[in-house]
Amino acid sequence: MRLVTAVIKPFKLEDVKTALESFGVQGLTISEVQGYGRQRGHTEIYRGAEYKVDFVPKVKVEVLVDDDDTADLIEVLVKSAQTGKIGDGKVWSVPVEAVVRVRTGERGVDAI
């Protein structure tokens, strides 16, 4: 099992959710986060007005997934979150040692 984490632009959340549902993901966790990547300190000019971009609001999506599905799921996440512009975010995955469904006590893949 792996935990796939994606940090995306907030307005892409609906697209990502729909794509993950089509892929068969049963549940996910969302949090409102702020951070920066390569665009730190970048100043944007928008119709003559300057905006200093420092910490940028993003949405963090976390999904538990079977090892075999990881690559496909990351692909789905990247495609659905992409706008092609700076600040689109990141997706990464880490191995998960144990998962338990609290209500039933099921473990491992059954608990996903």
Partner 1 sequence: MPSDAESPAASTAPAKAAQVEYLHALRGRSDIVGPALRRVLTDTVRAWLIGLFEAADPGPGISLVTLGGYGRGEPAPGSDLDLVLVHDGRAPDVGTVADRLWYPIWDAGISLDHSVRTVDEALRVAASDLRAALGLLDVHHAAGDKDLSARLRERTLAQWRSGARKRLPDLQEAGEERGRMAGDVAFLLEPDLKSARGGLRDVQILRALAAAWVTDAPPAPVQEAHTLLLDVRGELHKRTRGRDKLLLQEQDSVAEALGYADADALAHAVADAGRTIAWAYDSAWRRAGGVLSQQGWGRRFGRTRRPNRRPLAEGVVEQNGEVVLARNADPAADPVLVLRAAEASARADMPLAPHTLDRLAAESAPMPVPWPDAARDAFVGLLAAGPPAVGALEALDHAGLLVRLLPEWRRVRSKPQRNAVHRFTVDRHLLETAAEAADRTRRVDRPDLLLLAALFHDIGKGWPGDHVTAGEKVVARIGPRLGLPPEDASVLTTLAAQHLLLPEVATRRDLDDPATIRQVAGLVGSRGVLDLLHALTEADALATGPAAWGPWKARLVGELVDRVGAWLGGAPPPKPPALTADQEALLSAPAAGDPHLLVRVGEDELVHVTVAAPDQMGLLTAISGVVALHRLDVRRATAYSTSGRALSELVVSTPYGRLPDEAKMRSDLVAALGGSLSLDQRLREREESVSLPRRPGLASPPPEVLFDDSAEDATVVEVRAQDGIGVLHRIVGGLAGHGLDVRTAIVSTLGADVVDAFYVRGRDGGPLPAGAERERVAHAVLAALE
Task: Tell me the per-residue interface mask from 12 to 41 with partner 1, x by CB under 8 A, - otherwise.
Answer: -xx-----------------xxx-------
Would you say 93 and 3 are in contact if contact means Cβ atoms under 8 Å apart? yes
Task: Tell me the per-residue interface mask from 78 to 97 with partner 1, x by CB under 8 A, - otherwise.
Answer: -----x-x------------
- Give phi and psi for 109, each to the nearest 5: -60, -35
State in angstroms the smallest separation of the CB of 15 from partner 1: 10
Instruction: Determine if 49 is a binding residue for partner 1 (CB under 8 A).
Output: yes
Instruction: Determine if 55 is a binding residue for partner 1 (CB under 8 A).
Output: yes
Instruction: Indicate the SS3 state at residue 59.
Output: strand
Q: What is the distance between the alpha carbons of residues 60 and 91, in angstroms, rounded to a whole number?
A: 10
